Structure 1
Amino acid sequence: MRALLVGSGEGVAGPLSSTLRADGWTVWTRSDVTCRERGDYCLPDVVVVVDRPSDDDTKLIGSLANVGRLYLSSADQPAPAFRPEGWERTVVMRYPFSLARITECMQSLALHDQRQEILSVGTATLDPLAGTVARAGRGIDLGRRGCQLLHCLMQNPGQWVSRDHLLHEVWGHDFEHSTDVVAIYMNHVRRKFDASQPQMLFHDPAAGYMIKAAGSPA
């Protein structure tokens, strides 16, 4: 799972980052842009805010919709002021706190999306938790990002989804590359998903991408 650590509390962030990496987490910080330059950046599963976030931190947090966040606060630190609509999954923990309690809470926030139901459109199914895709019962390996892109489309069957929307949902609002990365990945998804089967994925240069059951009216 993926965690983004932001804020000013280096005394907590350092040990926490080491503990999470030892447990198999991928950990990013605000200044860690290497992942984006390699093109490997995608949305974190949970955001951890340690004490006072900077203006850049707050801007980044605000761009990550539907991601659970944990706010670690000193005893006298006020509760977070950034609580925009759609951020219901915010947990505030005040000092003293243990690394074990922090990681337990992060795990709970990160696994919130496991309650998502299996999506289906026509003969196609997608399990968001397992990251598996099938058509007519036959598995299709689309990779992590391919599943994320297909998930966005299957949440809106029969509707056009723009490349900008897909870019923001899968790679994050601050991703520095163009929407060409969406076209590259979607070409891969379409080739594998529609191979030797009736077409379900459609592309319009102006409107974006759409999934609909084979044989459905336009």
Structure 2
Amino acid sequence: MNVENKKMDTNERILHAAIELIAEKSYKEVPTKEIAAKASVSEMTLFRHFGSKKRMLVEAADRFYYTVSMKKIFLEKIQWDLESDLLIIAETYHKLIRKNKNLILIAIKEGNKIPDLLEQINKHPRQLKDLLIEYFSQMQDCGAMIPGNVEEYAMAFLYMNYGEFLSRSFVAGNMITSIPDSNFRKASVKLFARGLSVNS
């Protein structure tokens, strides 16, 4: 293993340890010494890699979130069919955001105390909104979607999916309904696409 790979492994161990501990407790309750111990590194190594606890979270939000993967979906998987495109976007979004559940929890609990973290977290949905706006605009241009405010459509789609994620992850959504995630997602995307389709 080369030096760069060793450094990357150390970085990721530290970031994962920080996310897990801070999500479980709180930002103030977790000292850097505890993060270093969980990551099996010295506290000096932790500071050499990141400099501060806040920097760790901001770096984690940039590295582990979903923008790059979502851009790839828009570049490689779009078929210009409203329902099938929105379904693959929704499925990919949920797969990625579930992997970052603890990071989202930290942002919800600690965001007002760590403005840089909130800004970094919010960068990703803003970029996904822009991708959706561009997609909806092109669908309108080719006559495959009803006219209207594409930013409103993009935000409605984002909030629909983010709301499902929050309910399933943090508000005991499975106690509200027994409908499997995939079935609910297909039904909600079908309804959403039908509302925007020129043939509905």
> Taking structure 2 as the reference length, what is the TM-score of the superposition?
0.27
Structure having the higher strand fraction is: 1
> Taking structure 1 as the reference length, what is the TM-score of the superposition?
0.26
